[in-house]
């Protein structure tokens, strides 16, 4: 069973007058690469949240965000008038010193500066809030894992089709093998007849030709490629978390296909090899996204 590394999960829970929204998304990565954004009053719990994510998600480039909104009737966010006044005084002095005009729209400029809005929300989170937020984190992870499972099913269908296509192409190879060997033998004999006044030992030539043709034999490559195709499907249908292993199998498949191409010496077989490489390249691109 496959799981994709691409996923998204979201959870929204309430505690008292607060609304907690947790969003988590992931993309493919060789290791766990976690970036988080958590409100200041919940930073103490951030390490615990990261630990939960690391255990349950394992791999991927993960973005983890927590948003907190207050539904209280009183204002929890107020303008820091003292800070605004201080900023304006300093900027006016700088403008005077540099001999430049003061801005016409002071408010829009000042409101972009740090700490011009201050929160009346308590600096420390209550136990109930932490419990609800932790539950929201786990729910968001549940959603992401389910998303990964659905994407993994699509990947299974994709890989099965690509592997079947390579298998079908491999089954076409034998029909060209006899013709290939005959053409190689004929080409060598014709080349010898075009060289005048050359005497050669026909017995020795026959031995050398057999040796040369044996070097072009592709039976082992066909067998190994067929085994790799079957092993890919077997691994894909086994336990989850086999993305790296599938990547290694795909590499071995590539080696056998490349050897088939180098030994083919036949136009129709080379066309088959090119088609195999196209199917394999699609597998390699998508296998990077498998857990």
Cβ contact 148:7 at 8 Å: yes
Q: Is 162 part of a structural domain of the chain?
A: yes
Are both 84 and 40 inside the same structural domain? no
Q: Is 57 part of a structural domain of the chain?
A: yes
Tokens of 134: 């932790």
Q: How far apart are CA 255 and CA 280, in angstroms?
A: 11
Q: How far apart are CA 206 and CA 180, in angstroms?
A: 17
pLDDT tens-place values along the chain, 291 residues long: 899 999 999 999 998 888 999 999 999 998 999 999 998 888 889 999 999 999 999 899 999 999 988 765 445 567 888 888 898 899 898 888 888 888 888 888 888 888 787 655 555 778 898 999 999 999 999 999 999 999 999 999 999 999 999 999 999 998 887 676 667 667 666 666 666 666 666 666 566 666 666 667 788 899 999 999 999 999 999 888 889 999 999 999 999 999 998 887 778 889 999 999 999 999 999 999 998
Q: Is the dihedral of CA 94, 99, 100, 101 positive or negative?
A: positive
Cβ contact 263:218 at 8 Å: yes
Are both 192 and 254 inside the same structural domain? yes
Q: Is 193 part of a structural domain of the chain?
A: yes
Are both 27 and 140 inside the same structural domain? yes
pLDDT at 95: 86
Q: How far apart are CA 92 and CA 174, in angstroms?
A: 86
Q: How far apart are CA 149 and CA 97, in angstroms?
A: 63
State the residue range of the domain holding 194: 152-287
Phi then psi dihedrals of residue 142, to 5 deg: -55, -45
Are both 14 and 115 inside the same structural domain? no
Neighbours of 111 (CB within 10 A): 12
Count the domains in the chain: 3
* pTM passes above 0.85: no
Are both 100 and 24 inside the same structural domain? no
Are both 219 and 169 inside the same structural domain? yes
Q: How far apart are CA 174 and CA 170, in angstroms?
A: 8
Q: Is 210 part of a structural domain of the chain?
A: yes
């Amino acid at each position: 069973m496959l799981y994709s590394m691409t996923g998204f999960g979201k959870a929204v829970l309430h505690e008292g007058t607060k609304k907690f929204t947790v969003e988590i998304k992931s993309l493919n990565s060789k290791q766990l690469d976690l970036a988080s954004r958590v409100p200041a009053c919940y930073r103490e719990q951030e390490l615990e949240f990261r630990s939960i994510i690391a255990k349950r998600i394992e791999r991927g480039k993960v973005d983890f965000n927590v948003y907190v909104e207050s539904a209280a009737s009183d204002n929890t966010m107020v303008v820091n008038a003292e800070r605004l006044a201080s900023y304006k005084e300093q900027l006016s002095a700088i403008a005077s010193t540099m001999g430049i005009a003061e801005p016409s729209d002071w408010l829009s400029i000042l409101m972009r500066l740090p700490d011009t809005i201050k929160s009346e929300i308590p600096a420390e989170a209550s136990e109930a809030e932490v419990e609800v937020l932790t539950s929201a984190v786990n729910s968001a992870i549940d959603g992401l894992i389910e998303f990964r499972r659905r994407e993994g099913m699509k990947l299974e269908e994709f890989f099965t089709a690509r592997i079947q296509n390579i298998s079908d192409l491999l089954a076409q190879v034998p029909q060209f093998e006899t013709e290939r060997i005959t053409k190689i033998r004929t080409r060598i004999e014709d080349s010898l007849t075009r060289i005048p006044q050359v005497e050669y030992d026909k017995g020795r030539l026959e031995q050398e030709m057999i040796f040369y043709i044996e070097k072009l034999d592709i039976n082992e490559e066909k067998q190994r490629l067929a085994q790799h195709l079957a092993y890919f499907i077997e691994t894909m249908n086994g336990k989850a978390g086999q993305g790296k292993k599938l990547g290694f199998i795909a590499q071995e498949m590539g080696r056998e296909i490349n050897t088939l191409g180098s030994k083919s010496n036949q136009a129709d077989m080379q066309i088959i090899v090119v088609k195999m490489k196209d199917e394999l390249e699609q597998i390699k691109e998508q296998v990077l996204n498998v857990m």
